[in-house]
Amino acid sequence: MKIFFKKNPYRPLEKRLGYTFRKKDLLANALMHRSFRYESADIRNDNQRLEFLGDSALGLVASDYLFRLYPDIEEGPLTCLRSRLTSGKALARIGASIDLGDDIQLGKGEKASGGHQRDSNITDAMEAILGAAYLDGDLKAVRKIFERLFVAQIEIHPDDNWGDNPKGHLQVLAQQHWKTNPNYRLVKQEGPPHARVFTVEVAIAGKVSGAGQGSCKRDAQQSAARQALQNIPLTGGRR
């Protein structure tokens, strides 16, 4: 559904993002949570497709940034740094820093349960905004937001700990010890559309190393990676 605006209701958010959208309906779509769509008969789209696009656009822009910033670091550590820079927790932290939760369109139930402050909602909206920016102004637009928010607020250290990014940590170890990447598999999903519970297994070199659950696939993967970090043997070389 095309959305028209007499005035620009997103000007304060655009200032915080560091980018002005030419097509405001793209930004409106990026801020539309699935719970709002479920409760609105005349709205057919939410921000989930834009999340998918934004995740890829952010990964490319972050890769380019790190590649240029660290010319002497090899592929493995660069991959880990990118994972940390683009993790769900980093996205939630950045979104919270610009009060993004206040701008997300939520259904009544999600709003009543504190959805405006929920990290997963802020993370998804942040990704969707990046996807919308890509459609609105290509990678140049994504870079503007990235340089305004990500570079300024996240300090990147190659030797930093991995407490908030178990997927990145697991990827480092898998590359170091078995020269492969972890493989995540969705085992099942349960619950109604607005309250899904996902179960994910992670395997390394063909062997299941951990499993986890979450309200979204990303959280379930992080949980599985966290369990795998506790289970995998790191002594004696490869399994």
The least confident of 74-78, 83-87, 95-99, 221-225 is 74-78
- Determine whether 127 is an active site residue: yes
CA-to-CA distance for 229 and 231, rounded, in angstroms?
Answer: 6
pTM of the model: 0.65
From 127, 136, 201, 219, active-site residue = 127
What is the band of 62 on the pLDDT scale with cuts at 50, 70, 90?
A: very high
Domain at 11-153, CATH from 3.60.20.10, 1.10.1520.10, 3.40.50.2300, 3.40.50.920: 1.10.1520.10
CA distance to 53, 74, 95, 158, per residue, from 78 (Å): 22, 6, 24, 8
- Considering the chain, what is the average pLDDT of its residues? 85
Assign 166 a pLDDT band (cuts: 50, 70, 90).
confident
Domain coordinates of the chain in residue numbers? 11-153, 166-231
Do residues 154 and 85 touch, judged by C-beta distance below 8 A?
yes
| pLDDT of 27 over the 80 cut | yes
CATH 3.40.640.10 fits 166-231, yes or no: no
Active site residue 159: no
Q: Per-residue confidence at 157, pLDDT binned at 50, 70, 90?
A: low
Bigger pLDDT: 227 or 34? 227
- Report CA-CA distances (Å) from 126 to 63, 64, 90: 18, 19, 10
Q: What are phi and psi of 203, to 5 degrees?
A: -120, 145
Which among 80, 90, 151, 149 is positioned nearest to 122, based on CA atoms? Answer: 90
Q: Which residue has the higher pLDDT, 173 or 206?
A: 206
Please check the confidence at residue 160 and state whether its pLDDT lies above 60: no
Predicted local confidence at residue 72, as pLDDT: 65
- Token pair, residue 121, equals 């909602």
Q: Which of 25, 39, 55, 119 is catalytic?
A: 55
Bigger pLDDT: 82 or 109?
82
155 pLDDT higher than 80: no
Counting residues of the chain whose pLDDT is more than 90, the rounded percentage is 53
